[in-house]
Amino acid sequence: MPTALRVHHLAVVVDDMDRALSFWRDALGLELAGIRDVPEQASQVAFLPAGEAEIELVRPTSGDSGVARYLAKRGPGMHHICMSVDDLSGTLERLAAQGVRLINPEPMASADGRRYAFVHPESTGGVLLELYQA
């Protein structure tokens, strides 16, 4: 098994950040490591480490983003799982060769340079899965 293959974060779409933080931070006791705007995703994201993984609370900041449409259609809740991998490009090639449906067949790069790609829920058993270059 690739050594880096582990749960990196869980993204939860919320409509009310203060209310979500009142549970995950204030009631449950997770630490809020930071909260910041992510303009390229039209979202505000709160980062709450939980062991080696992290809970990310994602609140859309405009009505026409993918996350906003998800929230409008399905309501608040789990958006995706992210797992880190050793070799993102190699993993994507291997998955494609096995017939896995990839939303991003090639790695994408976020504004801060991290590389990621999404796997379609059709191939995972209904879970939107992000793979992240460790």
CB 105 within 8 A of CB 131: no
51-67 in b/e burial notation, b at 16+ Cβ within 10 A?
Answer: eebbbbbbbbbeeebeb
Residues binding a copy of itself: number (CB under 8 A): 44
Stretch that binds a copy of itself, among 12-20, 36-44, 62-70, 104-112 (CB under 8 A): 12-20
Q: Smallest distance from the beta carbon of 29 to a copy of itself, in angstroms?
A: 6
Q: Which of 45, 67, 68, 81 touches a copy of itself by CB under 8 A? A: 81
Q: What would the two tokens of residue 4 be?
A: 């880096």
Closest CA to 1 of 78, 77, 85: 85
**CA distances from residue 66 to 7, 31, 79, 114, 132 in whole angstroms, order as listed:** 23, 27, 11, 20, 19
Angle at 3 between CA 122 and CA 130, to 5 degrees: 30
Stretch that binds a copy of itself, among 34-42, 62-70, 109-117, 118-126 (CB under 8 A): 118-126
| Closer by beta carbon to a copy of itself, 30 or else 68 | 30
72 binds a copy of itself (CB under 8 A): no
Other C-beta atoms closer than 10 Å to the C-beta of 74 total 11
Q: Which of 65, 95, 115, 133 touches a copy of itself by CB under 8 A? A: 95
Q: Which residues bind a copy of itself (CB under 8 A)?
A: 1-2, 5-7, 10, 12-14, 16, 19-20, 22-24, 26-31, 50-53, 55, 57, 75-78, 81, 83, 91, 94-95, 98, 100, 121, 123-127
